[in-house]
Amino acid sequence: MPFAVGSDAIVHLPCGLLGFEQVKRYVLSAISGEEPFLWFRDQKDPALAFLVVSPFEVFPSYQPDLPAEDVRFLGLETPEDALLLNIVTLRARGRSTVNLKGPIVINRFSLIGKQCVLANAAEYSVQHHLPTE
């Protein structure tokens, strides 16, 4: 991965995120002590930020099926070329959730990303409860 805790990576999302299509550049930041969570912030307006997590850190059995069109769009040659992040929703009452249907997929080398709707999205929820451990 092209960044480490304490450093940032600029990620370009040509299509933006669902509901935030106008925002094209995000800063991906890892903050010491907040692992395995990362921050995905609008480069121009850091107040617009999403808490994200690698699904494999919290759901080892996650098996996303990326549509071939998205694989081509991102220029992914092998599964290892992709960094997957899922948006976390913190809830005041109740358990926090993670969107497993629509991961943000980033090419680790070009840092071009896209929020993808999985080919096997029916197997997952947009409000999957995070484990409490």
For 12-51, write each residue's pLDDT tens digit: 999 999 999 999 999 999 888 888 899 999 999 989 999 9
pLDDT in tens, 54-104: 999 889 999 999 999 999 999 999 999 999 999 999 887 778 999 999 999
How many helices (H) and strands (E) in the chain?
Answer: 2, 9
Q: Which domains does the chain have, with CATH numbers?
A: 8-129 (2.30.290.10)
Is the four-CA dihedral 110, 84, 125, 30 of positive or negative sign? negative
Alpha-carbon radius of gyration of the chain? 14
Structure tokens at 69: 């069109």
pTM score of the predicted model: 0.90
Question: What is the mean pLDDT of the segment spanning 106-123?
Answer: 95
Could you give the residue ranges of the DSSP H alpha helices within the chain? Answer: 55-58, 68-74
What's the pLDDT band for 5 if we cut at 50, 70, 90? very low
Torsion sign, CA atoms 50, 4, 72, 76: negative
C-alpha distance from residue 54 to each of 22, 45, 86 (Å): 24, 23, 6
